[in-house]
Amino acid sequence: MPDLAVYILCGLSAGLLGGYLGLGGGIVMVPFLTVIAGLDFKVAVPVSVTAIVFNSFASSNEYLKRGMVDLELVIILAIFMVMGNITGSNLSQVVPAEFSRLVFTVLLVYTAFSLLKGRKTTERLAFSDNRRKFFTICVFLAFFTGIMAGLLGVGGGVILVPVLYLMIGLPLTTARGTSALMIGFSAAASSTVYFLNDSINFSVVAPVILGIIIGGKLGGFLGTLAKPVVVKVMFFIVMLYLAFRLGYDPLMELL
């Protein structure tokens, strides 16, 4: 029962923060499951990817209701993300867990600082027509994001949101909503690969999904509102702590 409560809390936290920030939630789930729940990294990743599918559709529903999703970009970029996800999921069978943990640690630190950093300009209300100008670059980044997402068990929102907002020119809320929906399709591809490889621990993934559906709905609703500074600071502190716990052992082995 204590383990069950921990898994539900993991899903709830990931859903709340993931839906709120337009992320898949894996950036929370993988370190939560490995550091707090004590699972092996290669057990946590398939659980995270599977739960991200449910979180994506639970949270993006709130953005869809308010017209904060660019469906054209979802359709185009999701195709390349899926291709990357399948590649990354298969690579996870041969890439050492220690290497994946170090890469994930770097991703955690990057996410923490990028979310804490304030915006310099006010949010744009109209789309900037940059999608054709940067189409090739965005396709490559979508494919690369898919590989990293499948390999590390994250949704890829930490890369997608900045790309959609800073490069394509979408408003920040639309970038978060578009990212949240796109992640669902790509994560479904990864989870299928893990399922076929018999890598998903269903006794863990079921309570995580329960928590993430609840958290994702609430996080998606809150994500359509103003972003409080307090949440960003708390997220920053938690991410740095988890990065330290996750990366300490493999880093010490290298040194």
124 pLDDT tier (thresholds 50, 70, 90): very low
Provide the pLDDT for residue 227.
Answer: 52
* C-beta pairs of 237-240 under 8 Å, 24+ apart in sequence: 239/27, 239/108, 239/109, 239/111, 239/112, 239/115, 240/108, 240/109, 240/112
Contact 197, 168 (CB under 8 A): no
- Report DSSP state, residue 48: H
Check pLDDT > 70 for residue 25.
yes
Consecutive H or E run containing 147: helix 135-152
- 192 is written with which tokens? 């299928």
More confident residue, 9 or 221: 9
Contact 119, 67 (CB under 8 A): no
Residue reference for tokens 């690369």: 144
Amino acid at 253: E
- Report DSSP state, residue 252: H
What's the pTM? 0.74
For residue 135, which of 73, 197, 70 has the smallest C-alpha distance? 73
Consecutive H or E run containing 112: helix 97-116
For the chain, the residue count is: 255
Provide the pLDDT for residue 32.
Answer: 87
Provide the pLDDT for residue 224.
Answer: 65
Say how far residue 117 (Cα) sits from the centre of its chain.
19
Contact 143, 79 (CB under 8 A): no
Q: How many of the other CB atoms lie within 10 Å of CB of 93?
A: 11
pLDDT digits (tens, 9 = 90+) for 69-99: 888 888 888 899 999 888 988 887 788 877 8
Provide the pLDDT for residue 126.
Answer: 45
Check pLDDT > 50 for residue 123.
no
The span from the CA of 215 to the CA of 51, in Å, is 12
Amino acid at 78: A
CA angle 68, 27, 53 (to 5 degrees): 55
Residue 10 to residues 3, 17, 28, 44, 235: CA-CA distances in angstroms?
A: 10, 11, 8, 11, 14
